[in-house]
Structure 1
């Protein structure tokens, strides 16, 4: 009887494992994702450092741009949010920090998530950036209301959170519409309902009424 040596630990897994081969649809989606990422400007993240509590138990959040060159990092952030001045950029980051604050702590992950929502809108000016900050704050508040509604222990609390959730959701929709209206300011829409070309090549644009009968056929 032949004795077959047992394979070493890990050799079976190596023999069985096979590199995953993505499908054509997955490859196409991956290419589209990389192309979309490449078309967007670079936006550095923000690092949040919380100080130790003082005598009153208060914490101070310090915000820093996460970039090897801080000056360049702040300029990239300013361009991403449509800021014209450093004062507006600082105020924008401070506003986003308030939206990401839970208790006395500013959550770095929530801070960068809110920042990504504003930058994703590609604001053209400070009005659009301010509206984007409010949209990010309302969205995060909406998700918190949904969480609180799911955690409610009584019907009264659940109904209260449901009302808050509905109000916040409607506010977000109104903000989206406001952003659309603001971005479309100055644009003129021309609607051509009907075009008739008569003999001689003259075109009549608009609502054209005919008397009908033989004259219309002629």
Structure 2
């Protein structure tokens, strides 16, 4: 069963049978917190990358954009590529993980695309990893639902085992993405250095042993 989450303001219901349909007042403190949260939300939206959407009409999948050329460019940019073939292939894979059965799920596919676009891949490797992260996340949520609706102990053990594997895999994918983006560079940040009386502090690369450019203990 699909859950519909309203993201837009719904029209107020009309009173029926004399029922009191008055809306409770919001306290000034809560109103201020809501205002601050909205300001933060709109600031995040201004910085967020543009993630295009796709539209499903029967068996045809197209960009949900009035200008198809612009829509295609936005789609490729969201996937960190300039290749039409790569973008088409990736969309096909996102359709597969976002749909169940033979019918293309437009909402599920756009959700998977939103995950990839939110990660903002910078190249095709990152796009592929982002798509795998989307697939693992969706599978994790599937088994989380199954775990919450088990009837027997074997069902619980099976769902829990798979859920834990998927959750660990997702964490490993996040770390892999971080390592790839850092290009394998490692940095050591020294927060505090304490030098006792008579000692010396050296900042830089230190090599021990003899040889040219190295200091021997005296």
- So what's the TM-score if we normalise by structure 1? 0.74
CA displacement 1:42-101 (0-9 Å, x = unmatched): 222111233xxxxxxxxxx43211011111011111111102201111111111111012
Counterpart of 1:162?
160
Partners of 1:203 and 1:137 in 2: how far apart?
Answer: 50
Tell me how many residue pairs correspond in the alignment: 186
Q: 2:143 aligns with which of 142, 145, 153?
A: 145
Q: Which runs of 5+ in 1 are unaligned?
A: 1-8, 51-60, 208-218
Counterpart of 1:38?
46
Q: Which runs of 5+ in 2 are unaligned?
A: 1-14, 207-218
**CA-based RMSD:** 3.1
Q: 2:33 aligns with which of 19, 25, 32?
A: 25
- So what's the TM-score if we normalise by structure 2? 0.74
TM-aligned CA deviation for residue 144 of structure 1: 0.7
Question: Are the counterparts in 1 of residues 49 and 117 from structure 2 also a CA contact under 8 Å?
Answer: no
Question: Are the counterparts in 2 of residues 195 and 205 from structure 1 also a CA contact under 8 Å?
Answer: no
Question: Are the counterparts in 2 of residues 46 and 63 from structure 1 also a CA contact under 8 Å?
Answer: yes
Q: Using a 3 Å threshold, how does the CA distance of structure 1 residues 76 and 139 change in structure 2: closer, same or farther?
A: same
Give the structure with higher Rg (CA): 1
Partners of 2:151 and 2:60 in 1: how far apart?
Answer: 37
Is 1:122 the counterpart of 2:120? The answer is: yes
Partners of 1:189 and 1:158 in 2: how far apart?
Answer: 43
Q: What stretches of structure 1 move > 4 A for 4+ residues in a row?
A: 16-22, 190-193
Which structure carries more strand by proportion?
1
Partners of 1:180 and 1:186 in 2: how far apart?
Answer: 9
